[in-house]
Chain A
Amino acid sequence: MYEIIIVGSGPSGVASALEFSKNNIKPLILDVGYKVEEEIEKKENLYSLKEQKQTTNFLIGKNLEYFKKHKQQMPAKLKSPFFHFVTKDPNFFSIINSNIITSYAKGGLANAWGNGLMRFSENEFEELPIKLNDLLPFYKKLEDEIGISGLNDDLSDFFGKLDILQEPLKRSKKSKIIYKQYIKRKELLNKKGIYLGTPRLGVSNNSFDTREQCNYDNLEFWQPNHKSFYNPSMTFDKLYKANQLDYQDSLFVDRWERFPDRIEVIAYDINTKKEVRFKTKKLLLGAGPLNTSRIVLKSKKDFSSKLPFIDNPSIQVPIFFPRLIGSPMETDCFGLTQLNLIYKSAILNKNIIGSLLELSSPLRSEFLGRFPLGFTDNINFIKYVLPNMMVCQIFLPSMKDLSSEISLLENGNIALNSSLSDIPKSLKNEAVKKLKALGVMAYESFASSSSGSIHYGGTLPMTKNPSSPFETSIKGELFQEKDIFILDGSNFGSIPATNYSLSVMANSMRISHNIALNL
């Protein structure tokens, strides 16, 4: 019988294993654990690669895999053929009426994350039953493990002042322009509650541990297991090599069954579909909010309860740099977050965070339908106007009006009941206004919005006094289910605007730490 079984090898599962390893406890991790099908490592920059040889197989796939996810409106990164393993589905159940993205890959959705790893600020804990101090020791452990890059600048009050930060990435030409404008008008902007600064990322301008320094190759969207970007799989591999965790892959965990002296985890081999059972004293679920909730509902045989399902709504605002029009394209910059913007929303009375993104990594054709012109003119705009644009992706805190509900159907499928309304126009206008205050060209009419940003959570919220079978205690234990713990974003009853990845991992470590103390 195992002492601890963790379901899921994503960020929360790996963070939990890391904490157990520090307490000399060796858990067993169960996961489907899809891996990249063909290991490739490109050494060139994306654009020189495209100039030198035909890249159809690499960028689009032998069987045009890039387009297969088109109808599901996948983010460009998840369409790329070598990232298909991230969203590969073992097809044990379907999600009805939904564009929810799930991952059964080793490392989970973090294989395709944007690498933003920052702490929540003190006031972002207001709607959570835990405080910053509860997570602080675990934030520190994770920051030491990951080697987060950044600067202690104007955003330190929000992301935390860190003693050691890795060398931040070089800024692109456009980011330098915005930052210069910000510095010029800093006092005035800060008075208005607008702050701009360096992002906290799991990628740096120097090498760290086994991670290589960023080589600005624009392959963020194309090279799986990129050696410059932190991925929980790196920690997983380190622990596995050091014999600090056991791992069984190719297993789809279906449910648990409780016996007087043990918990039995029932899984299915994805190849043979045969049932496999594991005995454990404590079961920790970190399979991602959707799968964790499905396992809970299935184990309880509950086909009627509807669990809240939340996400960060987002607004995408294109920013133009008219004085750069005609400039050559910058092909050696980091193709994701260059700067972070934080402003206080007068409408929500909460902090809103924006990521200023470079657009150099996706296929140029990905923007073909984004300009309001005909096909041939859009191609010309891609060549001459797109290199002089950035996009600010504004993340809003989860909102009740924009949340959905999930329930388990008797046939094992998951139904999503969405009562989605559009993001209020006033929030879009506010975002554009704040960007204009930075001195950049941005227009409301070009801003688009999305009800989610793949930051799922809220299904099994932590509360101080849990009272329903689908709430967890502060220790992460499911109500009336002794020794069943929830590790992932499911236990965040609300998600602030700040990227929750690091906080989910820290919370998973906090829960695991308490378990380790009581073993």
Chain B
Amino acid sequence: MESCILKIYLMNFNEISNVDYYIKTICKELNNSFSQQEVDLLVGWCNDKVDLIALEFHLRKKHKNNILSFTFLMLSSLAESIPQNQHMYVNKFKASILTIFKVFLIAFFNLIIYELKRLFLVRQIKEHARCMK
């Protein structure tokens, strides 16, 4: 469990001090907030090396409250509380049209990619559910 959270953490953020402490607390919080089955599923997904961001995108479309979005929310909030990460969340100066255009273009491009990945993932998830039975 701890290693899977660490993987997600490493994918997105830097600069969080007391990593071990937060990982332990997050694991505890996940265990308190979700059923053991859901937590096991999360660990399974991480070990399967599924694209977790695409999976989160899929789960959020299906269920608002899901374990992966919650994990991402926790990691993102932790990162937000660190001074070094403020530039990720707060735009302090006027951004150029080029920057905004780039952000929208990448978001649009990624949206298409994630929708395609979703199609693939749905098959994988169905297969996973079938095996679990």
- The interface residues of chain B lying within 8 Å CB-to-CB of A384 are 91, 95, 99-100, 103
B-facing residues in A359-402 (Cβ within 8 Å): 363-366, 368-369, 372-377, 379-384, 387
- The interface residues of chain A lying within 8 Å CB-to-CB of B56 are 374-375
- The interface residues of chain A lying within 8 Å CB-to-CB of B83 are 50-54
B120 CB–A CB distance under 8 Å: no
Chain A: CB-nearest residue to B99? A326
Are the CB atoms of A374 and B53 closer together than 8 Å? yes
Are the CB atoms of B57 and A375 closer together than 8 Å? yes
- Binary interface profile of B, 95-118, with partner A (CB < 8 Å = 1, else 0)? 111011001001100110010000
Q: Give Cα A380–Cα B94 distance, bound, in whole angstroms.
A: 14
Chain A nearest Cβ from B102, distance in angstroms: 9
- The interface residues of chain B lying within 8 Å CB-to-CB of A380 are 103, 106-107
B72 CB–A CB distance under 8 Å: yes
Chain B nearest Cβ from A441, distance in angstroms: 15
A-facing residues in B41-93 (Cβ within 8 Å): 53-54, 56-57, 60, 64-65, 69-70, 72-74, 76-83, 86, 88-93
B25 CB–A CB distance under 8 Å: yes
Are the CB atoms of A377 and B88 closer together than 8 Å? no
Are the CB atoms of A68 and B90 closer together than 8 Å? no
Q: Give Cα A366–Cα B77 distance, bound, in whole angstroms.
A: 8
A2 CB–B CB distance under 8 Å: no
Contact segment of A56-64, A118-126, A476-484 = A56-64
Are the CB atoms of B89 and A51 closer together than 8 Å? no
Partner of B29, one of A53, A56, A68, A368: A68
> Interface extent on B, as a size class?
35 or more
The main secondary structure of chain B at its interface with chain A is helix
Chain B nearest Cβ from A449, distance in angstroms: 13
Partner of B90, one of A53, A326, A329, A376: A329
B17 CB–A CB distance under 8 Å: yes
A328 CB–B CB distance under 8 Å: yes
B37 CB–A CB distance under 8 Å: no
B14 CB–A CB distance under 8 Å: no
- The interface residues of chain A lying within 8 Å CB-to-CB of B114 are 373-374
Are the CB atoms of A326 and B12 closer together than 8 Å? no
Partner of A377, one of B29, B70, B82, B106: B106
Chain A nearest Cβ from B8, distance in angstroms: 10
Partner of A368, one of B76, B91, B93, B97: B76
B26 CB–A CB distance under 8 Å: yes
Are the CB atoms of B89 and A383 closer together than 8 Å? yes
Q: A56-B78, A331-B90, A363-B80 given as contacts; is B107 within 8 A of A375 (CB)?
A: no
Partner of A373, one of B25, B33, B93, B111: B111
Chain A: CB-nearest residue to B98? A326
Q: A365-B73, A384-B100 given as contacts; is B89 within 8 A of A379 (CB)?
A: yes
- The interface residues of chain A lying within 8 Å CB-to-CB of B110 are 373-374, 376-377
A325 CB–B CB distance under 8 Å: yes
Chain B nearest Cβ from A154, distance in angstroms: 33
Are the CB atoms of B76 and A365 closer together than 8 Å? yes
Chain A nearest Cβ from B105, distance in angstroms: 11
- The interface residues of chain B lying within 8 Å CB-to-CB of A363 are 77, 80
Q: Give Cα A51–Cα B12 distance, bound, in whole angstroms.
A: 19
Are the CB atoms of B80 and A365 closer together than 8 Å? yes
Chain A: CB-nearest residue to B106? A377
Chain A: CB-nearest residue to B75? A365
Chain B nearest Cβ from A44, distance in angstroms: 13
Q: Give Cα A366–Cα B81 distance, bound, in whole angstroms.
A: 13
Chain A: CB-nearest residue to B70? A70
- The interface residues of chain B lying within 8 Å CB-to-CB of A383 are 88-91
- The interface residues of chain A lying within 8 Å CB-to-CB of B90 are 47, 329, 331, 364, 383
Q: A364-B90, A373-B110 given as contacts; is B81 within 8 A of A71 (CB)?
A: no
Q: Give Cα A327–Cα B100 distance, bound, in whole angstroms.
A: 10
**Chain B residues close to A by CB (< 8 Å):** 12, 17, 22, 25-26, 29, 32-33, 53-54, 56-57, 60, 64-65, 69-70, 72-74, 76-83, 86, 88-97, 99-100, 103, 106-107, 110-111, 114
- For the complex of A and B, the 4 pairs showing the least CB-CB separation, nearest first, are A326-B95, A364-B89, A365-B76, A56-B81
Q: Give 6 CB contacts A-B under 8 Å.
A: A64-B26, A64-B74, A368-B73, A369-B69, A374-B57, A384-B100
**Chain A residues close to B by CB (< 8 Å):** 47, 50-56, 58-60, 63-64, 66-68, 70-71, 73, 325-329, 331, 363-366, 368-369, 372-377, 379-384, 387
